[in-house]
Chain A
Amino acid sequence: MSGGLFTFGVFFAAIFTSNILLTNFLGMCSFLAVSREVKTSVGLGAAVIFVMAITSVLNWLIYYYVLVPLDIIYLRYIAFIIVIAAFVQLVEMIIERVSDTLYAALGIFLPLITVNCAILGASLFMVIREYTFLSSFAFGAGSGIGWALAIIAMAGIRTKLNIRSKVPYGLTGAGITLIIAGIMALAFMGFAGMINIT
């Protein structure tokens, strides 16, 4: 594969075969904490898609135009983290300024995202796998969509679970959620043979 096809492949793979949540188990804490209702998971999912897509690109620029020329790529962790934190803070301020509705839907999740390891993970994978600028964007956006998909699916399952199922007492809450996440991960493994980007 090359060029545009590769970029599309990365995008597709990031959503399904290499889902950052279900194959790498990154971003689990907010996945467990905020997957109780579909509405809030949609909000958090949208925020993650947006932040992941943009920070992958920003970090790509920082990496290839600052860290590589200066030969200090070992500083990528700390550099990526502060870029993500500053970007998230900035976006929160702008959203708060321009739209109350958007702030109510997305804004309050942004501080939660700063410490979401999936965001940093996406930036680090993009470097390790040596993606181009465009592929990095596709990978960031794809990973975000994959993460959102997983949390919304989980929220849907948990909503149903609350109404219909009798969960054994010792498994209520995080316990049953982790078991479901494991089963979902198995299901996503079904996509695995289709495409491989790792």
Chain B
Amino acid sequence: MLTTFLITVGAMAALGTALAVLMVIADLTVGNYGEVKITINDSKELVVPGGGPLLSTLMAEKLFIPSACGGRGSCGFCKVKITSDVGDYLATELPWITEEEKKENIRLSCQVKAKKDLSIWIPEELFNVKEYRTRVERIRDLTHDIKELTLKLIDPPEISFRPGQYIQFQTPEYELSSESVYRAYSCSSNPSQRDMVELEVRLVPNGICTTYVFQYMKEGDEVTINGPYGEFFLRDTQRDIVFIAGGSGMAPIKSILLNMVEKGIDRKATYFFGAVSRRDLFLVEEMRELEKKLPNFRYVPALSGPKPEDKWDGETGLITEVLDRHLSSGDNVEAYLCGSPGMIDASIKVLSSKGIPQELIYYDKFA
């Protein structure tokens, strides 16, 4: 009996060990790519350990390529242009790469591995992306399911972002998650307040990050963010502006509006904010304040299902219906949308039907 037991365990252990040793040897020989040199924008050179995915290799060097999924190849954000030869496109990249991007050799940096010297091109502003240690200064309830976080920067002490851009919030390991994950949130504060960022976080049931923010995080805690990222910011034109947002989509719009006040930009602007009932509306006072400071700005909150006790006398209906009623013509208009994919897609249809060209519709979809 004992012999059987020993033979069984011994044989399996031996087989396992033999294969493990084989793997270790392979890792040290076949899988060892030594150090490779990455040339960025023909100006900066990094010497890094080879063999790993480009995205995480660059991240270890404190160079942050935007990524929402953390390198699993499921968001398609981490595109970089690679001018040296790195082989054919992988099947895991193709769903995210358009024909034009193929001609320019744009690749997903989480799938491409740094196996030999590489030459890559990334937008200059990504050099501006840094990792910040921050302290949670204030957590405030905006509605029953949206909280406003005020993060005071510790190191580096100042950040520079364009109004409308977003940062990535690092959720540390905690009871519900054994690894730290990144989630993207738009800044709602005025960029001229350089020593802090404000975020608006809406509770996602069972969300790793939002559960952490709602149930575990306390004022005074230290959290890490990195950024800024994003192409969602106010363009410097003379066109009229239509803002459309729902829920925590308020954040980037608020940042843009605060910035308009400060810069004295008084373009004609209308802000359609969609909610279900009164309890989903927030920052209404602040928006009315902004209307006074920006004479050409109008805030139009709309409820799709006001309750009797709301005593609502404002706009009712889906945001698309309200938009359709208010916007008579799309001439000389550009639009900024932030919210759920459903709301954005439906709003784009209405905007297009009013004659606003696609390239003047800017949006930030919550994926």
How close is B299's CB to chain A, nearest CB, in angstroms?
42
Residues from chain B with Cβ under 8 Å of A43 in the complex: 91
Q: Which residues of B, 33-88, contact A by the 8 Å Cβ criterion?
A: 85-88
Q: Is A100 an interface residue (CB 8 A)?
A: yes
Contacts of B15 in A (CB 8 A): 62, 66, 79, 82-83
Interface of A is mostly: helix
Q: Does A94 contact B (CB under 8 A)?
A: yes
Given contact pairs A82-B16, A86-B22, A96-B113, A108 touches B86 in the complex (Cβ within 8 A): no
Chain A 80-113 interface mask (CB, 8 Å, partner B; 1/0):
0011001001100110110011011100100000
By beta carbon, the residue of chain A nearest B116 is A100
A83 & B19 in contact (Cβ 8 Å cutoff):
yes
**Cα-based distance from A90 to B31 in the complex (angstroms):** 9
Given the complex of chains A and B, what is the CA–CA distance between A155 and B23 in angstroms?
35
Binary flags per residue of A140-151, CB closer than 8 Å to B gives 1, else 0: 000000000000
- A40 CB within 8 Å of chain B: yes
Q: Which of A67, A71, A104 contacts B90 (CB 8 A)?
A: A104
Q: How far is the CB of A114 from chain B (nearest CB, A)?
A: 13
Cβ-defined partner of A72 (8 Å) among B8, B27, B87, B91: B8
Report if A163 contacts B (CB, 8 A). no
CB of B92 within 8 A of chain A?
A: yes
Is A1 part of the contact surface with B, judged by Cβ < 8 Å? no
**A93 pairs with B88, CB closer than 8 A:** no
- Asked whether B86 lies within 8 Å of A100 as measured between CB atoms, the reply is yes
Instruction: Say yes or no: B8 contacts A75, CB within 8 Å.
Output: yes
A70 interface residue (CB < 8 Å to B): yes
Question: A78 interface residue, CB < 8 Å from B?
Answer: yes
B12 engages A108 (CB within 8 Å): no
In the complex formed, the residue of B with least CB distance to A103 is B87
| A12-47 contact mask (Cβ, 8 Å, vs B): 1 or 0 | 000000000000000000000000000010010000
Whether A97 lies near B8 (C-beta < 8 A) is: no
Contact call A70/B87, Cβ cutoff below 8 A: no
User: Cβ of A83: which chain B residues have Cβ within 8 Å of it?
Assistant: 15, 19
Distance in Å: Cβ of B121 to nearest Cβ of chain A: 20
Nearest-neighbour CB distance to chain B for A170, whole angstroms, equals 23
Query: Out of A71, A82, A96, which one reaches B19, CB within 8 Å?
Result: A82
Query: In the complex the two chains form, is B90's CB within 8 Å of A108's CB?
Result: yes
Q: How far is the CA of A83 from the CA of B23 in the complex (A)?
A: 11
**How many Å lie between the Cα of A117 and that of B176 in the bound state?**
32
Residues of B within 8 A of A71 (CB): 4, 7
Given A78-B12, A86-B23: 7 more A-B contacts, CB < 8 Å: A70-B11, A72-B7, A72-B11, A83-B15, A83-B19, A103-B87, A105-B88
Query: Please, could you name 18 A-B residue pairs with CB atoms under 8 Å apart, sorted by A?
Result: A62-B15, A66-B15, A71-B7, A72-B8, A75-B8, A75-B11, A78-B12, A83-B19, A90-B23, A93-B27, A93-B30, A94-B30, A100-B86, A100-B87, A100-B88, A103-B90, A104-B88, A108-B92
